[in-house]
Amino acid sequence: MDTIVTIALGIIAAYLGVGLLFALPFVFIGVAKIDAPAASAGFWFKLILIPGSTVFWPLLLKRWLRGEPPPVEHSAHRTSAQSPPHP
Amino acid sequence: MSHGYQLVTWTPFKKRYDQFLVGVVVAGIAVFGGVTFALNPLANPVQVLMRAFGLVAIVLLHVILAIGPLARIDKRFLPLLYNRRHLGVMMFALAFIHGAIATFWYHALGTLNPFLSVFLSDWGSHPGAFPFQAFGAVALMILFVMAATSHDFWLANLTAPVWKSLHMMVYVAYALLVVHVGFGVLQAETSPVYLGILATGVVILTGLHLKAGRTETAADASVASPVESDGFVRVASLADLPLNEAVSACLNGDRVAVLRYEEDGVEKLSALSGICQHQNGPLSEGKYVKGCLTCPWHGYQYQPDTGASPPPFTEKVPTFRLRVSDGDVFVHPTPCPAGTRVEPVTLN
Ligand code: HEM
Ligand code: FES
Protein backbone atom coordinates (compact mmCIF):
# COMPACT_ATOMS: atom_id res chain seq x y z
CA MET A 1 0.00 0.00 0.00
CA ASP A 2 2.68 2.47 1.06
CA THR A 3 4.65 2.08 -2.16
CA ILE A 4 1.58 2.42 -4.38
CA VAL A 5 0.47 5.60 -2.61
CA THR A 6 4.01 7.02 -2.63
CA ILE A 7 4.41 6.40 -6.35
CA ALA A 8 0.92 7.69 -7.22
CA LEU A 9 1.34 10.89 -5.22
CA GLY A 10 4.84 11.34 -6.71
CA ILE A 11 3.47 11.11 -10.25
CA ILE A 12 0.67 13.57 -9.45
CA ALA A 13 3.13 15.99 -7.85
CA ALA A 14 5.51 15.80 -10.84
CA TYR A 15 2.64 16.31 -13.32
CA LEU A 16 1.34 19.34 -11.43
CA GLY A 17 4.86 20.71 -10.97
CA VAL A 18 5.45 20.71 -14.73
CA GLY A 19 1.95 22.16 -15.10
CA LEU A 20 2.73 25.08 -12.85
CA LEU A 21 5.94 25.83 -14.75
CA PHE A 22 3.88 25.79 -17.94
CA ALA A 23 0.97 27.81 -16.54
CA LEU A 24 2.87 31.03 -15.84
CA PRO A 25 4.12 31.72 -19.39
CA PHE A 26 0.88 30.27 -20.78
CA VAL A 27 -1.56 32.60 -19.03
CA PHE A 28 0.49 35.74 -19.71
CA ILE A 29 1.67 34.96 -23.27
CA GLY A 30 0.26 31.74 -24.73
CA VAL A 31 -3.42 32.16 -23.96
CA ALA A 32 -3.69 35.18 -26.26
CA LYS A 33 -2.53 33.01 -29.16
CA ILE A 34 -5.16 30.29 -28.78
CA ASP A 35 -8.21 32.19 -27.50
CA ALA A 36 -8.95 35.59 -29.06
CA PRO A 37 -11.23 36.99 -26.34
CA ALA A 38 -8.67 36.11 -23.67
CA ALA A 39 -6.04 38.30 -25.37
CA SER A 40 -7.70 41.53 -24.23
CA ALA A 41 -8.73 40.26 -20.79
CA GLY A 42 -7.37 41.71 -17.56
CA PHE A 43 -4.66 40.62 -15.16
CA TRP A 44 -6.96 39.02 -12.57
CA PHE A 45 -8.74 36.99 -15.19
CA LYS A 46 -5.39 35.61 -16.35
CA LEU A 47 -4.40 34.86 -12.79
CA ILE A 48 -7.44 32.63 -12.19
CA LEU A 49 -6.52 30.58 -15.26
CA ILE A 50 -3.37 29.35 -13.50
CA PRO A 51 -4.93 26.46 -11.52
CA GLY A 52 -6.80 25.08 -14.53
CA SER A 53 -3.74 25.48 -16.79
CA THR A 54 -1.71 23.56 -14.22
CA VAL A 55 -4.12 20.64 -14.61
CA PHE A 56 -4.78 20.76 -18.37
CA TRP A 57 -1.29 21.71 -19.52
CA PRO A 58 -0.77 18.93 -22.10
CA LEU A 59 -3.89 19.99 -24.02
CA LEU A 60 -3.08 23.70 -23.84
CA LEU A 61 0.57 23.15 -24.77
CA LYS A 62 -0.51 21.25 -27.89
CA ARG A 63 -2.91 24.06 -28.90
CA TRP A 64 -0.27 26.72 -28.20
CA LEU A 65 2.35 24.94 -30.34
CA ARG A 66 -0.16 24.53 -33.19
CA GLY A 67 -1.85 27.92 -32.72
CA GLU A 68 -5.24 26.18 -32.61
CA PRO A 69 -8.39 28.12 -31.58
CA PRO A 70 -10.94 26.57 -29.20
CA PRO A 71 -12.83 23.77 -30.97
CA VAL A 72 -16.51 23.86 -31.82
CA GLU A 73 -18.17 21.11 -29.84
CA HIS A 74 -20.18 18.24 -31.26
CA SER A 75 -23.82 17.90 -30.34
CA ALA A 76 -26.27 15.37 -31.76
CA HIS A 77 -27.59 18.03 -34.16
CA ARG A 78 -24.16 19.26 -35.28
CA THR A 79 -22.96 15.73 -35.94
CA SER A 80 -25.97 14.76 -38.04
CA ALA A 81 -26.29 18.08 -39.92
CA GLN A 82 -26.52 17.89 -43.72
CA SER A 83 -26.90 20.62 -46.31
CA PRO A 84 -30.58 20.84 -47.27
CA PRO A 85 -31.54 19.56 -50.75
CA HIS A 86 -31.96 22.36 -53.31
CA PRO A 87 -35.53 22.37 -54.53
CA MET B 1 -21.39 37.34 -26.03
CA SER B 2 -18.02 35.67 -26.24
CA HIS B 3 -16.41 39.09 -26.53
CA GLY B 4 -13.78 39.62 -23.88
CA TYR B 5 -13.65 37.71 -20.62
CA GLN B 6 -13.99 39.23 -17.21
CA LEU B 7 -13.06 37.75 -13.87
CA VAL B 8 -16.74 37.83 -12.92
CA THR B 9 -19.49 39.50 -14.95
CA TRP B 10 -20.99 41.25 -11.95
CA THR B 11 -24.65 42.15 -11.80
CA PRO B 12 -26.50 43.58 -8.76
CA PHE B 13 -28.20 40.19 -8.40
CA LYS B 14 -24.90 38.29 -8.25
CA LYS B 15 -23.54 40.78 -5.69
CA ARG B 16 -26.52 40.27 -3.40
CA TYR B 17 -26.36 36.50 -3.92
CA ASP B 18 -22.69 36.45 -2.92
CA GLN B 19 -23.15 38.75 0.08
CA PHE B 20 -25.97 36.55 1.30
CA LEU B 21 -23.82 33.46 0.74
CA VAL B 22 -20.88 34.84 2.73
CA GLY B 23 -23.28 35.85 5.51
CA VAL B 24 -24.76 32.35 5.70
CA VAL B 25 -21.33 30.71 5.75
CA VAL B 26 -19.99 32.97 8.52
CA ALA B 27 -23.19 32.44 10.53
CA GLY B 28 -22.96 28.66 10.05
CA ILE B 29 -19.38 28.52 11.33
CA ALA B 30 -20.24 30.80 14.28
CA VAL B 31 -23.31 28.78 15.27
CA PHE B 32 -21.45 25.46 15.11
CA GLY B 33 -18.55 26.89 17.13
CA GLY B 34 -20.88 28.46 19.69
CA VAL B 35 -22.95 25.32 20.21
CA THR B 36 -19.89 23.07 20.45
CA PHE B 37 -18.18 25.26 23.03
CA ALA B 38 -21.42 25.63 24.99
CA LEU B 39 -21.74 21.86 25.19
CA ASN B 40 -18.05 21.20 25.73
CA PRO B 41 -16.06 24.22 26.97
CA LEU B 42 -12.82 22.23 26.81
CA ALA B 43 -13.12 21.47 23.09
CA ASN B 44 -9.98 22.08 21.08
CA PRO B 45 -10.52 25.30 19.08
CA VAL B 46 -8.51 24.08 16.07
CA GLN B 47 -10.52 20.91 15.85
CA VAL B 48 -13.80 22.81 16.24
CA LEU B 49 -12.82 25.19 13.45
CA MET B 50 -11.85 22.28 11.22
CA ARG B 51 -15.14 20.52 11.82
CA ALA B 52 -17.09 23.74 11.26
CA PHE B 53 -15.53 24.31 7.84
CA GLY B 54 -16.13 20.70 6.83
CA LEU B 55 -19.75 20.82 7.94
CA VAL B 56 -20.58 24.10 6.20
CA ALA B 57 -18.92 22.73 3.03
CA ILE B 58 -20.96 19.53 3.00
CA VAL B 59 -24.21 21.41 3.67
CA LEU B 60 -23.39 23.76 0.79
CA LEU B 61 -22.68 20.77 -1.44
CA HIS B 62 -26.17 19.44 -0.72
CA VAL B 63 -27.67 22.82 -1.63
CA ILE B 64 -25.65 22.91 -4.87
CA LEU B 65 -26.75 19.43 -5.87
CA ALA B 66 -30.39 20.17 -5.04
CA ILE B 67 -30.59 23.31 -7.20
CA GLY B 68 -30.28 21.48 -10.54
CA PRO B 69 -33.26 19.11 -10.12
CA LEU B 70 -35.29 21.80 -8.32
CA ALA B 71 -34.89 24.15 -11.29
CA ARG B 72 -36.02 21.39 -13.64
CA ILE B 73 -39.05 20.59 -11.50
CA ASP B 74 -40.05 24.22 -10.96
CA LYS B 75 -38.76 27.16 -13.01
CA ARG B 76 -38.94 29.53 -10.07
CA PHE B 77 -35.65 28.04 -8.85
CA LEU B 78 -33.85 29.02 -12.07
CA PRO B 79 -32.25 32.23 -10.71
CA LEU B 80 -30.39 30.10 -8.15
CA LEU B 81 -29.01 27.99 -10.97
CA TYR B 82 -27.48 30.93 -12.88
CA ASN B 83 -25.05 31.73 -10.14
CA ARG B 84 -24.38 28.21 -8.96
CA ARG B 85 -20.68 28.35 -9.84
CA HIS B 86 -20.06 30.89 -7.07
CA LEU B 87 -21.55 28.40 -4.66
CA GLY B 88 -19.26 25.73 -6.05
CA VAL B 89 -16.09 27.79 -5.73
CA MET B 90 -17.08 28.85 -2.22
CA MET B 91 -17.74 25.22 -1.25
CA PHE B 92 -14.33 24.20 -2.57
CA ALA B 93 -12.64 27.00 -0.58
CA LEU B 94 -14.34 25.87 2.65
CA ALA B 95 -13.53 22.20 2.04
CA PHE B 96 -9.94 23.16 1.24
CA ILE B 97 -9.57 25.04 4.53
CA HIS B 98 -11.03 22.04 6.37
CA GLY B 99 -8.63 19.65 4.60
CA ALA B 100 -5.66 21.97 5.13
CA ILE B 101 -6.33 22.32 8.88
CA ALA B 102 -6.78 18.53 9.19
CA THR B 103 -3.56 17.87 7.27
CA PHE B 104 -1.54 20.23 9.45
CA TRP B 105 -3.21 19.28 12.70
CA TYR B 106 -3.10 15.51 12.34
CA HIS B 107 -0.30 14.86 9.88
CA ALA B 108 2.35 17.57 9.88
CA LEU B 109 3.97 16.64 13.19
CA GLY B 110 5.15 13.13 12.32
CA THR B 111 8.19 12.12 10.32
CA LEU B 112 6.07 10.96 7.39
CA ASN B 113 5.34 13.45 4.60
CA PRO B 114 1.93 14.93 5.62
CA PHE B 115 0.33 14.27 2.23
CA LEU B 116 1.35 10.62 2.34
CA SER B 117 0.14 10.43 5.89
CA VAL B 118 -3.38 11.60 4.90
CA PHE B 119 -3.65 8.59 2.61
CA LEU B 120 -1.87 6.06 4.77
CA SER B 121 -3.34 6.66 8.20
CA ASP B 122 -6.38 4.76 9.50
CA TRP B 123 -5.52 1.51 7.66
CA GLY B 124 -4.60 0.01 11.02
CA SER B 125 -5.97 -3.20 12.43
CA HIS B 126 -7.79 -1.67 15.40
CA PRO B 127 -11.58 -1.99 15.19
CA GLY B 128 -13.33 0.88 13.43
CA ALA B 129 -10.20 1.90 11.54
CA PHE B 130 -11.12 3.08 8.08
CA PRO B 131 -9.08 5.25 5.69
CA PHE B 132 -11.80 7.91 5.57
CA GLN B 133 -9.32 10.75 5.09
CA ALA B 134 -8.15 9.29 1.77
CA PHE B 135 -11.78 9.52 0.60
CA GLY B 136 -11.91 13.17 1.65
CA ALA B 137 -8.63 13.91 -0.10
CA VAL B 138 -9.67 12.34 -3.43
CA ALA B 139 -12.98 14.22 -3.25
CA LEU B 140 -11.06 17.43 -2.59
CA MET B 141 -8.94 16.84 -5.71
CA ILE B 142 -12.09 16.46 -7.82
CA LEU B 143 -13.59 19.61 -6.31
CA PHE B 144 -10.31 21.42 -7.06
CA VAL B 145 -10.42 20.55 -10.76
CA MET B 146 -14.04 21.69 -10.91
CA ALA B 147 -13.37 24.99 -9.15
CA ALA B 148 -10.28 25.57 -11.32
CA THR B 149 -12.32 25.13 -14.51
CA SER B 150 -15.42 27.02 -13.42
CA HIS B 151 -14.79 30.07 -15.62
CA ASP B 152 -16.40 30.29 -19.07
CA PHE B 153 -12.93 30.25 -20.59
CA TRP B 154 -12.72 26.56 -19.72
CA LEU B 155 -16.16 25.86 -21.05
CA ALA B 156 -15.09 27.22 -24.46
CA ASN B 157 -11.63 25.65 -24.45
CA LEU B 158 -12.59 22.20 -23.17
CA THR B 159 -15.95 22.28 -25.07
CA ALA B 160 -19.27 21.95 -23.29
CA PRO B 161 -19.56 18.11 -23.42
CA VAL B 162 -16.08 17.60 -21.92
CA TRP B 163 -16.69 20.35 -19.38
CA LYS B 164 -20.02 18.84 -18.48
CA SER B 165 -18.59 15.33 -17.97
CA LEU B 166 -15.86 16.86 -15.85
CA HIS B 167 -18.43 18.63 -13.70
CA MET B 168 -20.58 15.49 -13.45
CA MET B 169 -17.66 14.15 -11.41
CA VAL B 170 -19.27 16.08 -8.57
CA TYR B 171 -21.42 12.99 -8.03
CA VAL B 172 -18.29 10.86 -7.59
CA ALA B 173 -16.98 13.43 -5.13
CA TYR B 174 -20.31 13.39 -3.34
CA ALA B 175 -20.27 9.60 -2.97
CA LEU B 176 -16.71 9.72 -1.61
CA LEU B 177 -17.72 12.45 0.81
CA VAL B 178 -20.71 10.53 2.14
CA VAL B 179 -18.21 7.86 3.19
CA HIS B 180 -15.69 10.43 4.46
CA VAL B 181 -18.22 12.37 6.50
CA GLY B 182 -19.95 9.23 7.77
CA PHE B 183 -16.71 7.92 9.24
CA GLY B 184 -15.33 11.42 10.02
CA VAL B 185 -18.28 12.24 12.26
CA LEU B 186 -17.67 9.04 14.21
CA GLN B 187 -14.24 10.39 15.19
CA ALA B 188 -15.76 13.08 17.35
CA GLU B 189 -19.38 12.09 17.91
CA THR B 190 -21.08 9.10 19.38
CA SER B 191 -24.60 10.44 18.89
CA PRO B 192 -26.49 9.00 15.89
CA VAL B 193 -28.06 12.41 15.14
CA TYR B 194 -25.25 13.40 12.73
CA LEU B 195 -25.47 10.17 10.78
CA GLY B 196 -29.25 10.57 10.64
CA ILE B 197 -28.92 14.05 9.15
CA LEU B 198 -26.41 12.77 6.59
CA ALA B 199 -28.70 9.89 5.58
CA THR B 200 -31.64 12.33 5.24
CA GLY B 201 -29.53 14.49 2.93
CA VAL B 202 -28.67 11.50 0.73
CA VAL B 203 -32.32 10.43 0.54
CA ILE B 204 -33.59 13.93 -0.33
CA LEU B 205 -30.99 14.41 -3.08
CA THR B 206 -31.67 11.01 -4.61
CA GLY B 207 -35.42 11.64 -4.55
CA LEU B 208 -35.09 15.07 -6.19
CA HIS B 209 -32.91 13.67 -8.97
CA LEU B 210 -35.30 10.79 -9.67
CA LYS B 211 -38.29 13.15 -9.76
CA ALA B 212 -36.55 15.63 -12.08
CA GLY B 213 -35.45 12.76 -14.36
CA ARG B 214 -39.01 11.52 -14.65
CA THR B 215 -40.37 15.03 -15.43
CA GLU B 216 -37.76 15.36 -18.18
CA THR B 217 -38.40 11.95 -19.76
CA ALA B 218 -42.13 12.67 -19.84
CA ALA B 219 -41.48 15.98 -21.65
CA ASP B 220 -39.24 14.30 -24.24
CA ALA B 221 -41.62 11.42 -24.86
CA SER B 222 -44.66 13.61 -25.46
CA VAL B 223 -43.59 14.51 -28.99
CA ALA B 224 -42.92 11.15 -30.66
CA SER B 225 -44.93 11.18 -33.90
CA PRO B 226 -45.03 9.08 -37.08
CA VAL B 227 -42.76 10.10 -39.95
CA GLU B 228 -44.47 11.48 -43.09
CA SER B 229 -43.65 10.14 -46.57
CA ASP B 230 -41.34 13.12 -47.24
CA GLY B 231 -39.47 12.46 -44.00
CA PHE B 232 -41.03 15.35 -42.04
CA VAL B 233 -42.33 14.74 -38.54
CA ARG B 234 -45.35 16.39 -36.97
CA VAL B 235 -44.23 18.29 -33.87
CA ALA B 236 -47.20 20.43 -32.86
CA SER B 237 -50.44 21.89 -33.94
CA LEU B 238 -50.14 25.51 -35.04
CA ALA B 239 -52.86 26.61 -32.65
CA ASP B 240 -50.76 25.38 -29.70
CA LEU B 241 -47.74 27.55 -30.50
CA PRO B 242 -47.62 30.72 -28.41
CA LEU B 243 -46.46 33.89 -30.15
CA ASN B 244 -42.81 34.89 -29.58
CA GLU B 245 -42.08 31.98 -27.29
CA ALA B 246 -40.33 28.78 -28.39
CA VAL B 247 -41.81 25.33 -27.96
CA SER B 248 -39.57 22.30 -27.44
CA ALA B 249 -39.73 19.13 -29.54
CA CYS B 250 -37.37 16.18 -29.44
CA LEU B 251 -35.90 15.25 -32.84
CA ASN B 252 -32.75 13.45 -33.88
CA GLY B 253 -31.49 12.89 -30.37
CA ASP B 254 -31.82 16.42 -29.07
CA ARG B 255 -34.30 19.20 -28.55
CA VAL B 256 -35.50 21.49 -31.31
CA ALA B 257 -36.89 24.97 -30.70
CA VAL B 258 -40.03 25.64 -32.76
CA LEU B 259 -40.74 29.36 -32.76
CA ARG B 260 -43.76 31.35 -33.97
CA TYR B 261 -42.70 34.99 -34.06
CA GLU B 262 -43.72 38.33 -35.48
CA GLU B 263 -41.15 40.17 -37.58
CA ASP B 264 -42.03 43.51 -39.25
CA GLY B 265 -45.71 42.83 -38.71
CA VAL B 266 -45.55 39.40 -40.40
CA GLU B 267 -46.03 36.21 -38.45
CA LYS B 268 -43.39 33.57 -39.20
CA LEU B 269 -42.35 30.12 -38.11
CA SER B 270 -38.79 28.79 -37.78
CA ALA B 271 -37.12 25.78 -36.18
CA LEU B 272 -33.59 25.65 -34.82
CA SER B 273 -31.56 23.45 -32.54
CA GLY B 274 -32.77 23.86 -28.98
CA ILE B 275 -29.34 23.61 -27.40
CA CYS B 276 -27.53 26.85 -26.72
CA GLN B 277 -23.92 26.99 -27.90
CA HIS B 278 -22.89 28.70 -24.68
CA GLN B 279 -23.49 26.05 -22.02
CA ASN B 280 -25.98 23.75 -23.71
CA GLY B 281 -28.74 25.75 -22.05
CA PRO B 282 -32.40 25.17 -23.01
CA LEU B 283 -32.69 27.51 -26.01
CA SER B 284 -35.95 25.73 -26.85
CA GLU B 285 -37.47 27.32 -23.75
CA GLY B 286 -36.39 30.81 -24.82
CA LYS B 287 -38.35 33.87 -25.88
CA TYR B 288 -38.20 35.94 -29.07
CA VAL B 289 -36.70 39.28 -28.08
CA LYS B 290 -35.60 42.06 -30.48
CA GLY B 291 -35.37 39.86 -33.56
CA CYS B 292 -33.65 36.91 -31.86
CA LEU B 293 -34.50 33.76 -29.95
CA THR B 294 -32.89 34.41 -26.57
CA CYS B 295 -31.54 31.66 -24.32
CA PRO B 296 -33.14 31.78 -20.87
CA TRP B 297 -29.91 30.91 -19.11
CA HIS B 298 -27.51 33.73 -19.98
CA GLY B 299 -29.21 35.57 -22.81
CA TYR B 300 -27.24 34.41 -25.85
CA GLN B 301 -29.22 35.36 -28.96
CA TYR B 302 -29.86 33.58 -32.26
CA GLN B 303 -31.69 34.78 -35.39
CA PRO B 304 -34.52 32.28 -35.95
CA ASP B 305 -34.03 31.87 -39.72
CA THR B 306 -30.22 31.39 -39.71
CA GLY B 307 -29.50 30.08 -36.21
CA ALA B 308 -26.65 32.60 -36.08
CA SER B 309 -26.01 35.24 -33.42
CA PRO B 310 -26.20 38.79 -34.78
CA PRO B 311 -22.76 40.26 -35.64
CA PRO B 312 -20.22 40.83 -34.16
CA PHE B 313 -21.01 37.59 -32.30
CA THR B 314 -20.11 34.32 -33.97
CA GLU B 315 -22.19 31.63 -32.22
CA LYS B 316 -24.30 29.45 -34.52
CA VAL B 317 -26.67 26.55 -34.02
CA PRO B 318 -28.09 24.11 -36.60
CA THR B 319 -31.43 24.99 -38.25
CA PHE B 320 -34.31 22.77 -39.41
CA ARG B 321 -36.61 22.82 -42.46
CA LEU B 322 -40.28 22.98 -41.64
CA ARG B 323 -43.71 23.20 -43.27
CA VAL B 324 -47.31 23.67 -42.18
CA SER B 325 -50.25 21.68 -43.48
CA ASP B 326 -53.81 21.43 -42.18
CA GLY B 327 -52.93 23.47 -39.12
CA ASP B 328 -50.09 21.12 -38.09
CA VAL B 329 -46.39 21.97 -37.97
CA PHE B 330 -43.97 19.46 -39.51
CA VAL B 331 -40.18 19.60 -39.06
CA HIS B 332 -37.58 17.61 -41.01
CA PRO B 333 -35.46 15.76 -38.42
CA THR B 334 -32.19 16.14 -40.37
CA PRO B 335 -30.55 19.37 -39.16
CA CYS B 336 -28.95 21.85 -41.57
CA PRO B 337 -25.36 22.83 -40.68
CA ALA B 338 -25.10 25.49 -37.99
CA GLY B 339 -25.84 28.94 -39.38
CA THR B 340 -27.61 27.73 -42.58
CA ARG B 341 -30.51 30.04 -43.45
CA VAL B 342 -33.84 28.26 -43.81
CA GLU B 343 -36.70 30.28 -45.28
CA PRO B 344 -39.23 30.76 -42.46
CA VAL B 345 -42.83 29.67 -43.06
CA THR B 346 -44.95 32.83 -43.41
CA LEU B 347 -48.31 32.69 -41.67
CA ASN B 348 -51.23 35.02 -42.35
C1 HEM C 1 -7.46 16.39 2.30
C2 HEM C 1 -8.70 16.30 2.51
C3 HEM C 1 -9.40 16.03 3.84
C4 HEM C 1 -8.87 15.64 5.07
C5 HEM C 1 -7.42 15.35 5.42
C6 HEM C 1 -9.98 15.55 5.98
C7 HEM C 1 -9.88 15.19 7.32
C8 HEM C 1 -10.93 15.02 8.18
C9 HEM C 1 -10.83 14.56 9.55
C10 HEM C 1 -9.54 14.19 10.24
C11 HEM C 1 -12.09 14.51 10.07
C12 HEM C 1 -12.49 14.10 11.47
C13 HEM C 1 -12.70 15.34 12.27
C14 HEM C 1 -12.87 15.12 13.73
O15 HEM C 1 -11.86 14.99 14.41
O16 HEM C 1 -14.00 15.10 14.16
C17 HEM C 1 -13.00 14.96 9.03
C18 HEM C 1 -14.37 15.09 9.17
C19 HEM C 1 -15.21 15.70 8.24
N20 HEM C 1 -14.86 16.11 6.98
FE21 HEM C 1 -13.01 16.00 6.16
N22 HEM C 1 -11.14 15.91 5.32
C23 HEM C 1 -10.82 16.19 4.00
C24 HEM C 1 -11.70 16.60 3.01
C25 HEM C 1 -13.03 16.91 3.21
C26 HEM C 1 -13.92 17.46 2.23
C27 HEM C 1 -13.54 17.74 0.76
C28 HEM C 1 -15.13 17.66 2.82
C29 HEM C 1 -16.44 18.23 2.31
C30 HEM C 1 -16.79 19.03 1.48
C31 HEM C 1 -15.02 17.22 4.19
C32 HEM C 1 -16.05 17.24 5.11
C33 HEM C 1 -15.97 16.71 6.40
C34 HEM C 1 -17.08 16.68 7.35
C35 HEM C 1 -18.47 17.25 7.11
C36 HEM C 1 -16.59 16.04 8.49
C37 HEM C 1 -17.36 15.74 9.79
C38 HEM C 1 -17.19 16.88 10.71
C39 HEM C 1 -17.59 16.54 12.10
O40 HEM C 1 -16.80 15.86 12.77
O41 HEM C 1 -18.64 16.97 12.55
N42 HEM C 1 -13.74 16.77 4.37
N43 HEM C 1 -12.27 15.26 7.90
S1 FES D 1 -26.46 28.46 -21.97
FE2 FES D 1 -25.68 30.35 -21.45
S3 FES D 1 -26.82 31.62 -22.73
FE4 FES D 1 -27.53 29.72 -23.28
Please give the distance, rounded to the nearest whole angstrom, from the Cα atom of residue B296 to the centre of ligand 2.
7
Q: HSE on the CB side for B37, CA within 13 Å?
A: 12
- Based on the domain organization, do B239 and B316 belong to the same domain? yes
Residue numbers of the domain that contains A38:
2-69
- Based on the domain organization, do B207 and B257 belong to the same domain? no
Nearest to B116 among A6, A41, A78 (CB): A6
What is the gyration radius of the CA atoms in chain A, in angstroms? Answer: 19
pLDDT tens series, chain B, 348 aa: 545 576 776 677 778 888 999 999 999 999 999 999 999 899 899 999 999 999 999 999 999 999 989 987 887 887 777 778 889 999 999 999 999 999 999 888 877 888 888 888 776 655 556 888 999 999 999 999 999 999 888 988 888 778 888 999 999 999 999 999 988 887 777 778 888 999 999 999 999 999 988 877 666 655 556 677 788 898 888 888 999 999 988 887 788 999 999 988 899 999 999 998 887 788 998 899 889 999 987 788 999 999 999 887 888 999 999 999 888 999 998 899 999 999 999 987
Q: What is the pTM of this model?
A: 0.81
- Based on the domain organization, do B117 and B257 belong to the same domain? no
- Based on the domain organization, do B59 and B162 belong to the same domain? yes
Q: Is position A76 within any domain?
A: no
Please give the distance, rounded to the nearest whole angstrom, from the Cα atom of residue A70 to the centre of ligand 1.
38
- Based on the domain organization, do B276 and B215 belong to the same domain? no
Q: Is position A9 within any domain?
A: yes
* Dist CA B288 CA B263 (whole Å): 10
Region of B226 (left: φ > 0; alpha: ψ -120 to 50; beta: rest) is beta
ipTM value greater than 0.90: no
Degrees, nearest 5: CA angle B109-B110-B114:
80
CB contact (8 A) between residue B336 and residue A6: no
Q: Is position B5 within any domain?
A: no
Q: Is position A29 within any domain?
A: yes
Q: What is the DSSP letter of B298?
A: T
Q: Is B137 in the pocket of ligand 1 (CB under 6 A)?
A: yes
List CB contacts of B2: < 8 A, sequence separation 6 or more: A37, B152, B156, B313, B314, B315
pLDDT of residue B268: 93
Q: Is position A81 within any domain?
A: no
**Residues of chain A numbered 29-68 and touching chain B (CB < 8 Å):** 34-35, 37-38, 40-42, 44-45, 48-49, 51-52, 54-56, 59-60, 63
Q: What is the DSSP letter of B222?
A: T
- Based on the domain organization, do B335 and B195 belong to the same domain? no
- Based on the domain organization, do B167 and B266 belong to the same domain? no
Q: Is position B26 within any domain?
A: yes
- Based on the domain organization, do B173 and B273 belong to the same domain? no
pLDDT tens by residue, A6-51: 999 999 999 999 999 999 999 999 998 888 778 878 888 899 999 9
The total domain count for chain B is: 2
Q: Is position A79 within any domain?
A: no
Q: Is position B308 within any domain?
A: yes
- Based on the domain organization, do B341 and B248 belong to the same domain? yes
Q: Cβ distance B231 to B335 under 8 Å?
A: no
Residue numbers of the domain that contains B265:
233-346
Closest residue of chain B to A72, computed from CA coordinates: B159
CB contact (8 A) between residue A81 and residue B158: no
Please give the distance, rounded to the nearest whole angstrom, from the Cα atom of residue B58 to the centre of ligand 2.
28
Q: Could you tell me the CA-to-CA distances from B76 to B69, B86, B217, B219, B333 in Å, in that order?
A: 12, 19, 20, 18, 32
pLDDT of residue A27: 93
pLDDT tens by residue, B29-87: 999 999 999 998 998 999 999 999 999 999 999 999 999 899 878 878 877 777 788 89
Tell me how crowded residue B240 is: count the other CB atoms within 10 A of its CB. 13
- Based on the domain organization, do B265 and B216 belong to the same domain? no
pLDDT of residue B101: 95
Q: What share of chain B is helix, strand, coil (3-state, %, to 5)?
A: 55, 15, 30
A10 touching B, CB under 8 A?
A: no
What ligand 2 atom has the least distance to the C-alpha of B1? 3
Please give the distance, rounded to the nearest whole angstrom, from the Cα atom of residue B114 to the centre of ligand 1.
15
Q: Is position B228 within any domain?
A: no
pLDDT of residue B219: 62
B7 touching A, CB under 8 A?
A: yes
Q: Which amino acid is at A43?
A: F
**Residues of chain B numbered 101-140 and touching chain A (CB < 8 Å):** 115-116, 119-120, 123
- Based on the domain organization, do B150 and B259 belong to the same domain? no
| Cis peptide bond N-terminal to B311, omega within 30 | no
Question: Which secondary structure element, helix H or strand E, spans residue B163, and what is its range?
Answer: helix B160-168
pLDDT of residue B128: 57
pLDDT of residue B27: 97
What ligand 2 atom has the least distance to the C-alpha of B283? 4
